[in-house]
Structure 1
C-alpha cells in the first residue's frame, strides 16, 4: 500500500485536512461529500463500512445522519483525528473507528449494506485484492473513486510524495467484473486537478470551478475528467 508509513506520521495526520480542504480545497470536500451522499442515498439505519476512513470526514458525516457506520484505517494517528472530529460533531457514541488492514477485513461475509472508499484506490498496490474484500463484506453496494489516467492528474502526478495509481475506464470495468460487481452508475468530474484548487483562495477557485463544470458538461468532459465516482452493485 503506497504511503502506508507516511500516513502514520503524527504531523501528517494533524495537517491532513488543513492541507487538502482549506482554500480552494473546500470545493473538493463539498463535492466528495455530495458524491457519497448521492450514491448511498438515505443513510439512516443503513449498515455502512468506510475503508481508509482517515480523519473521519465521511464517517462523522454519515453517523450524524443516522447511519450505523464503522470506519477502518491502518493509521492510528489518522484514526485519532477521526475520533476528535466525532467528538466535535457529537457522534462519538454513534460510530466505531477501528485500526485494520483493508486487504483482510475483520468482518463476516455480507455484513454491511454498503462499503465505500474515498481517496483509497490511487494508493492501492493490489486493487483487485482490496475490491474483492470490499465485495465479500457487502451484501448490496460498493462505492469508490479513482484518479484517471488520461487526464490533467497525470501532469503533476510525479510531484506527489508517493505518486498515484491512475486508472482507465477499462481497468475499472475489469476490476468490477473480476470482483463479481455490476456497475450501477458513474460520474466523471474535475477537469483541473485537485492540486490546482488547493493552491488558490476559495474565491478564485470558485470561478475556475464554474468553468470546470461547464467544460465537464460538454462532450469532452468525461474524457478529460481527472476523477471518477463508481457506484457498483453486488
Structure 2
C-alpha cells in the first residue's frame, strides 16, 4: 500500500483528523459520512466491518447509529486514536478495533451484513485482492470510494508526495465483475480538487462547496467529479 510507513507513524495519527477535517475539511467529512450512511442504509443491529478505519471517524458514527462495528487498520497508532474517540462518544462497547491486513481478513465467509472502505482504494496496490476479501466476508453490501482518472484529481495528483491510484469507470466495473460483485448504486462529487478544501478557511470553503454542489447536479459536473462512491451487492 502506498505510504504504508508514513501512515503508521505516531505523529501522523495524532494530527490526522485536525489536518484533514478541520476548517474547510469539514465539508469533506460531512459528505463522506453522508455517503456511508446512504449506502449502508439503516444499520441498527447490523454487523459492519470498516476496512482501513484510521482514527474511527466512520466506525464511531455507525456505532452511534446502533451498528455492531469492527474497525480494521494496519496502524496501531490510528487504532488507539479510534478507541479514544469511541470512549469519548460512549460507544466503546459497540466497537472493536483490530490491527490486520485487509488482503487477508481474519473472518469467515458472510460474517458481516456490510463491509466498506473509505479513503483506501486510491492507495491500494492490489485492489482486486482487497475487494475480493471484502466481498467474501460480506453477506450483502460492499461500499467504497475512488478518485477518478478523468477529473481535476489527475492534476492535483501531481502535487502529492505519494500520488494516488486513479480509476476510470470501466476499471471499477471490471474490478466488481472480477470478484463477483454487482453495482447497485453510485454517486459522484467534488468537481473542484478534493484536497483544496483542507487548505482554506471554512467560510471560503462553504462558498466553494455551494458552487461545487451546483456543478454536481449537471451532466458536466458528474463527468468531471473527482470522487465516486460505489455501492455493490454480493
TM-score by length of 2: 0.99
Which residue is 1:94 aligned to? 94
| CA distance in structure 1 between the partners assigned to 2:86 and 2:193 by the alignment | 29
Pairing 1:1-234 to 2, within 5 Å after superposition = 1-234=1-234
Find the residue that maps to 1:210 and give its secondary structure: helix
CA deviation profile, 1:169-204 (whole Å, cap 9, x unmatched): 000000000010100010000001121111111111
| CA distance in structure 1 between the partners assigned to 2:193 and 2:219 by the alignment | 19
Question: Over the residues paired in the alignment, what is the CA RMSD in angstroms?
Answer: 0.7
Tell me, which stretches of 5 or more residues in structure 1 are unaligned?
none
Find the residue that maps to 2:164 and give its secondary structure: coil
Tell me, which stretches of 5 or more residues in structure 2 are unaligned?
none
Alpha-carbon distance, 1:221 to partner: 1.3
| CA distance in structure 2 between the partners assigned to 1:111 and 1:219 by the alignment | 39
CA contact (8 A) 1:25 1:194 kept: no
| CA distance in structure 2 between the partners assigned to 1:3 and 1:85 by the alignment | 24
After TM superposition, the structure 1 stretch with the greater mean CA deviation from structure 2, 151-160 or 123-132, is: 151-160
Find the residue that maps to 2:98 and give its secondary structure: strand
Aligned length: 234
Find the residue that maps to 1:24 and give its secondary structure: helix
Moved over 6 A (4+): none
CA deviation profile, 1:3-46 (whole Å, cap 9, x unmatched): 11111101111110011001110000000000000111111001
TM-score by length of 1: 0.99
